[in-house]
Structure 1
Amino acid sequence: MQIKALNSKLFLAVLFLFLPGTLFAKFDFNANCLKAYQFVFELKLNAARQLIAAEKKMHPDNAIVPLLENYVDFFQLLTSENKEEFNKLKSNKGARLDQIADDDNKSPYNLYAQAEINLQWALIRGRFGEQFNAAMEIKKANSLLQENAKKFPAFQLNFKGLGLISAVLGSLPDGFMKSTLSTFGIKGNAKSGLAMMEKLAEGMPKSTYEPFYEEVVFYYSFVLTDVTHSERAYAETMKYVERISENSLLKAYLKAYVSAKRGHNEEAIVILAERPSGAQYQAFPYLDYLMGIARLNKLDSGAAGYFHKFLQSNKGISYIKDSYLHLAWIALLNGDAKGYQGYAEKVKSAGYAINERDKQALNEVQGVAPNVTLLKGRLLFDGGYYGKSLEALARLKEGDLNQLKDRAEYHYRLGRNHEELGKLDAALDNYEKAIQYGKGLKAYFAANSALFMGKIYMKKKNFGQARASFNTAINMKGHQYENSIESQARDSLKRLN
């Protein structure tokens, strides 16, 4: 994490004396621990392990050590998504919690550290399909943080976890996780959760909690981008990561990920090309996958090399099917129908269908190959090349498309591009046609069109039409992303009411 003198040993030596946790001998977030924590968030996990081992030897009773060990496991699994490692490492949780729970209960770090370990494992378990255990760990983390906030109301770190839990649960679509937690009376609020995290990110650099800044920004960016799908995700992420060290691979990941997701494709490519590298950093195959996505979004067939590199180095369970789908698309764009079919078969047979992108990849190859021009329009839109996407789509006419699904997608893609270019009336016209052709189909184009129509009408302050559009989205059933689209529509209705 970057503050003007953070790398100075003198600064660290002075700073740790004023951290709340260092008032309690058995929860000693000393200079050695702070440096290990910094290395974790730069994704220099081996260096972090060495410092943690040294701390364990020098101060075997320091209860901050098991928390730091858990951070290392968390980021190792986050970057590798390796199921064998997951099955091995998850057995560490119980002993760490026991060590912390038996320690100084007068320290604000006692309940906080237990909550953090539960929350980190909940986030990891969700990636490996262990939804019930994840729900129980969120319940436990929430309870511990609520109790800690009552005992130590001035301990700001409580609000990092509480804000994250509230934002995630407030945005969660109906399903097993949400229904399980609601039976325990745990309900979130996306708006208040985000506000909590934003307040922390804003105030932390000016407080004694500054060393935890990068972690707050990491979670805040995740919630903005993937949970609440906020229009502010790119601007907020870029604003808050600015003060983080350029030596942080995690910073490069955050910037590239949000840039790619929010239509700043060229920026994502530059960030990934210039990211920190070397043996000191944790292996992160996902970044090659992300570069492949960004390259293909500008119709660069050289993207294939990055997908192949990812598939060769990846030992995890996610993005395998999706990588083969993108390789199939590259073959199709190059006029290689046989190559497309070969990779489509790989989508069906390789990898796992746990991650949402892998589930969608499996759905994509169940029918006929996509229309090449529609595919170009789709990829260019995803990269933020809205004008070029419209140019590609202009080569098509509605009458050229025989399938209702293709006609629905054609107008949906036109609508999305027009909306991003600020041509809201043209967007509404195309969304209407997408609904007309797509209602009753399994494809998501009609329902998502209704959702976007509602959002446009909200901007226009036409609240009656907005309400009607959101209800249209909710009433469509049996399509892709049904829970997510319905959840967003219901949240929008709540804001209207």
Structure 2
Amino acid sequence: MKLATAILLLLFFFNTNAQKVFDFSSSCQQAYTEVMQLQIGKGFRYIEESKQANPQNLIPVYIESYIDFFTLFLNEDPQEYAQKKELFDERIGLMQTGNKNSPWFLYTQSVIYLQKAAVAIKFGETWTAGWAFRKSFLLIKENKKKFPNFLPNQLIYGALEAAVGTIPKNYKWLASLLGLRGSVKDGMLQVKTFAFSNNAWAQLMRTEGAFIYGYLNFYLENQKSETVQFLRSGRFDLVNNHLLAYMAANLGKNDKQTEFAKSIILNRSKASGYLETPVWHLELGYDLLNHLQLNDAVREFNLFLQQFKGKFYVKDTYRRLSWCYFLMGNMPAAENARKQIMSKGSTMADADKEAQKEAQTKKWPNALLLEARLLDDGGYRTEALQLLRNTHVNNYTDITDQLEFTYRMGRIYDGLDDNAKAIEFYRKAYQLGKDRTEYYAARAALQAGMIYERTGNKNEAVAYYNLCLNLGEHDYKSSLDQRAKSGIARCTGQ
């Protein structure tokens, strides 16, 4: 008995003091692949299998962090966040018990800090997010120096370097003080290299690589159609991979490819085990509204509002719901939806800020201009032009309507690749709205800059991007300024 007890004590001592390892075993690879497709059910089963096979392996814990990240980031449930927010720090602590000579030692910590930062933003904890972002950047920077041939470094370091590269010039001193220096050009090159690599790690992480590359290429590089085509190329399973399906639907909508976006949502796998998230209802609601399918859009927006527990895009959803009722002629329902804007959600997102501002005016938009806007947003430009073809700026007595009409004509001709007419209307919209707080003048300058950049006139492009940046406070200022800075960085090779 004494000998047996001694053996058990020795085994216990060995198990509790053995160094933790980073082993991306076959079951871990299966777990990671399933989780990155948002197939949480299968992913969790593989995680548990991996933990049982090797309790000292930290990779299952690392993969588990992705589950909490996706769930909290997409669903924004404050009660779930209160329960799980400390898990990010606990997992970082666990990663620190691993083998320091492994490239995964600092890498896993960097990724979990980045997850913590992204989730903290969703819950309004900007200070926490800022420090977690800084820690993530410094850790991956150090890992890149220690393990220069470890390809996954390129994905995270490149993404963070590109993001840091868009920090405004007047904040560069602060970024430098915090040890943050970046370049959009250099960062994007690293991300792209990873996304298109045949390296074994890049192939395993192809969903994560495509997701990061896709969003950065779409917004920082302004390669909208190229990015959507990258997703439509047949390289990816947009039926069973819900993460890439979501990105394809989201970016497809934002590139005005509504029919494509809608088909992705409707045709995605309905098998059990996928992360349940109401964002699908929101995305489909946008798509339906943008083709004036008002009753169906009302259904989807209401489903989103009933199921979503977060704050991002809640005000914007109520605004779009109010538009549906307004265009349907149901003013009591429209007024009730608008009333909710003032008390629900938050103003952290630019779209929500604009929704609240619109509600505060107590003015309803011009119905014709609203229909044209929605059709244009959906990529139905010929239908939008047909609505406005027989009208002129002088048909509108309200200065805001005059401004919106001028800007909208520019956007429609821009989408129809009539650059000359688009530039003409953008210039008029900028002059008409440069001293006002609506976003039209800034967006007109930004769009004009994009046309000049696309046609190779980079000097003129930079001039228009600067016009956008130099405007005073207006709707969507932070996001439009960010895009203008990215445009200047592209044109000047920064």
1:385-396 superposed matches below 5 A: 385-396=380-391
Match of 1:260 in 2: 253
- Residue 109 of structure 1 deviates from its aligned partner by 0.9
Is structure 2 residue 318 aligned with structure 1 residue 321? no
TM-score by length of 2: 0.89
Cα distance change, pair 227–127 in 1 and its aligned pair in 2 (3 A): farther
- Residue 477 of structure 1 deviates from its aligned partner by 0.7
> Structure 2 residue aligned with 1:169, among 129, 148, 164?
164
Inter-partner Cα distance in structure 2 for 1:451 and 1:65? 45
Is structure 2 residue 126 aligned with structure 1 residue 126? no
Counterpart of 2:235, as a letter, is E
- Runs of 4 or more consecutive aligned structure 1 residues displaced over 6 Å after TM superposition: none
Contact 2:465-2:488 within 8 A present in 1 as well: yes
Is structure 2 residue 420 aligned with structure 1 residue 425? yes
Counterpart of 2:411, as a letter, is R
1:254-333 superposed matches below 5 A: 254-301=247-294, 302-333=296-327
TM-score by length of 1: 0.89
Inter-partner Cα distance in structure 1 for 2:184 and 2:378? 27
- Residue 416 of structure 1 deviates from its aligned partner by 0.9
Cα distance change, pair 353–245 in 1 and its aligned pair in 2 (3 A): closer
Is structure 2 residue 359 aligned with structure 1 residue 362? no
Match of 2:404 in 1: 409
Cα distance change, pair 466–152 in 1 and its aligned pair in 2 (3 A): closer
Identity of aligned residues (%): 30
Inter-partner Cα distance in structure 2 for 1:174 and 1:305? 45
Is structure 2 residue 195 aligned with structure 1 residue 201? yes
- Residue 184 of structure 1 deviates from its aligned partner by 0.9
Cα distance change, pair 143–268 in 1 and its aligned pair in 2 (3 A): same
Match of 1:215 in 2: 208
Is structure 2 residue 354 aligned with structure 1 residue 345? no
Inter-partner Cα distance in structure 1 for 2:244 and 2:106? 29
> Structure 1 residue aligned with 2:43, among 20, 44, 48?
48
Cα distance change, pair 73–364 in 1 and its aligned pair in 2 (3 A): same
Is structure 2 residue 139 aligned with structure 1 residue 144? yes
Contact 2:152-2:201 within 8 A present in 1 as well: no
Unaligned runs of 5+ in 1: 1-23
Name the SS for the 1:171 alignment partner. Answer: coil
- Residue 361 of structure 1 deviates from its aligned partner by 1.7
79-88 vs 226-235, which moves further: 226-235
139-148 vs 296-305, which moves further: 139-148
Contact 2:194-2:202 within 8 A present in 1 as well: no
Is structure 2 residue 434 aligned with structure 1 residue 435? no
Inter-partner Cα distance in structure 1 for 2:330 and 2:442? 33
Is structure 2 residue 43 aligned with structure 1 residue 38? no
Name the SS for the 1:163 alignment partner. Answer: helix
Counterpart of 1:140, as a letter, is K
Deviations 1:376-400 (A, max 9, x none): 1111111111111111222432222
Cα distance change, pair 207–124 in 1 and its aligned pair in 2 (3 A): same
> Structure 2 residue aligned with 1:68, among 26, 43, 63?
63
178-187 vs 277-286, which moves further: 178-187
1:145-160 superposed matches below 5 A: 145-160=140-155
Match of 1:233 in 2: 227
- Residue 25 of structure 1 deviates from its aligned partner by 7.8
Inter-partner Cα distance in structure 2 for 1:42 and 1:459? 34
Deviations 1:227-269 (A, max 9, x none): 5443332123333x72347422222212211211111101111
Contact 1:171-1:228 within 8 A present in 2 as well: no
Counterpart of 1:299, as a letter, is L
Inter-partner Cα distance in structure 1 for 2:48 and 2:455? 59
> Structure 2 residue aligned with 1:84, among 79, 84, 93?
79
Alignment RMSD (CA, Å): 2.2
Counterpart of 2:309, as a letter, is K
Deviations 1:373-425 (A, max 9, x none): 11111111111111111112224322221121111110101001111211111
Inter-partner Cα distance in structure 2 for 1:456 and 1:226? 15
Match of 1:109 in 2: 104
361-370 vs 108-117, which moves further: 361-370
Inter-partner Cα distance in structure 2 for 1:100 and 1:467? 45
451-460 vs 153-162, which moves further: 451-460
Cα distance change, pair 495–155 in 1 and its aligned pair in 2 (3 A): closer
Contact 1:32-1:51 within 8 A present in 2 as well: yes
Match of 2:442 in 1: 447
Inter-partner Cα distance in structure 1 for 2:340 and 2:178? 42
Contact 1:174-1:483 within 8 A present in 2 as well: no
